[in-house]
Amino acid sequence: MKGRTALTIAILSAFLMGLAVAPMSFWWLAWFALTPVWAMTVRTRSIKPAIVWGIVYHGFALHWITGLHPLMWLGLSWAASVSIVAFAWAFITLWGAFCTGIWAWGLARIPNRSIVRVIAGTALWCGLEFVRQWSALDWTSLAYTQSPHNLVILHLGRISGALTVTAAIVAVNGLIAEAWLAKSKKIIASAITLLIILHLIGFGLYQTAIVQSSEVKLTAGIIQGNVPTRQKLFAEGLRKALDGYSSGYRSLADQSVDFVVTPEGALPFLWQGENIRNAVTQAIAEKRVLALLGTFVPEGTRYTQSLIATAPDRSPIARYNKIKLVPLGEYLPFEKLLGGLIGRLSPIDAFMIPGDFNQQFETPIGRIAIGICFDSAFSEVFRHQVANKAEFLITASNLDPYSTVLMAQHEAHDIIRAIETDRWAVRVTNTGYSGIVDPHGRVKWRSQNNQYQTHADTIYRQQTQTFYVKWGNWLTPTLLGITAVLLFFVSRNQR
């Protein structure tokens, strides 16, 4: 196959995988969109098609990052704004493409045996996604191509997390590619059989009942503030935010909700506890309904992005600090080594510090698993909290100034988190989409984007523990172990 033809095929197949991602959500494309790159890598032993595939897929899926421009309201020039946005988009795209290239390099060196190559190729892809999950950057896991519409297959996440779904997609693609290379009807039959079996397993998990008794019932209140971040830097915007959140809180309290949640950074100032007095804290003091407020908390010379549960006297009941901070926007990567260089690329003067994985958010209505914005892409953030007996999920996000593409993708991640932990999820954002998601991933309510909205809805506390919550991502090390054993025996037989 000629070089230009191979690259053209890689680009087209990457676009197909990108179309599987929300909001386009042609999820079925993901089950064969990796096949051409797999086949070309095995046949040519070249990693170039895979790298091009990675650039196009990750770049296309992440094109919403460009919505960050313009940043002139931060005092930056037009050129500086474009440079920052372009750097952020390119960096995360190339990180994904680098991982795809490593996968292709490994795939090309696996012995020429179809089943061994399928198992090893699947294990290697999952291993690289696992590494990305523990890095500072991850968003474009193959699993999220199936959210929000293929809820049946997403239930495989209850077995070993989202990487179970990724493994399923890669394995089916691998079998199709191997059937193509070997011109084998038997292998293509195996791919079809595996696809059907995986969906049947997911369907069985999808049929489990959701506990909905009055003893575990709660009424959640959501305020979607819809005040752009750039407006809250000025007095008029801050007044609008405080008025919107205080009036929304009062309205929801009058509807007898059990708690009210505001988005990430709803109160755009450093929280000073009992010394804070404004329209929102006054409303809390009067109505005395549990409030979960998105704000910032000072930590020495820096601060945390936090969600605080407050008592009527403004004292904190519980606090969660965002774990997965956004590079350049919320913290400086390699600050000691590259601070002077990278600092010029960021509009932020003072950086945040991350929370740790051992946080517990204990409130009068029960223990809650919390995530703030970027946390939603990382399964382990929520698994750890649910393993420690959190009974439902809350995610608080800003999502301003991004388009509905990010809104849909963010919702897609939260749907996966609800399914794999078997928990109700309350999603509150600044600009949309806010919503309520049940443990089977069904969206019970979704807000309109770029509108001020309040909403009260019913959720239920759950105490179940899925295999994933109990045992974590056990599938990836198992696949890697099986791969090591297979390669050992293949190598010995060849000798």
- The DSSP string of 335-387 is HHHHHHHHHTT-S-SS-B----TT--EEETTEEEEEEEGGGGG-HHHHHHHHH
Catalytic residue (one of 126, 232, 287, 373): 373
Catalytic residue (one of 178, 322, 411, 420): 322
Taking each helix axis as running N to C, give the angle between helix 185-206 and helix 162-182, from 0 to 180 degrees, rounded to the nearest 10: 160
Catalytic residue (one of 129, 178, 232, 264): 264
Q: Is 218 helix (H, G, I), strand (E, B) or coil?
A: strand
Report how far residue 215's alpha carbon sits from residue 208's, in angstroms, rounded to the nearest whole number.
Answer: 20
Please state the φ and ψ torsions of residue 54, each to the nearest 5 degrees. -65, -40
What letter represents residue 262's amino acid? T
264 given a catalytic annotation: yes
Structure tokens given for 419: 């399914």
322 given a catalytic annotation: yes
Residue in this structure with the two tokens 């053209």, named with its chain if needed? 8
99 given a catalytic annotation: no
Structure tokens given for 417: 């988190």
- Determine which helix (DSSP H) or strand (DSSP E) holds 333, and give its type and residue range: none
Contact at 8 Å (CB) between 157 and 469? Answer: no
For residue 87, CA distances in Å to 84, 160, 213, 284, 311 come to 5, 34, 50, 42, 42
Taking each helix axis as running N to C, give the angle between helix 235-253 and helix 279-287, from 0 to 180 degrees, rounded to the nearest 10: 10
Catalytic center residues: 264, 322, 373
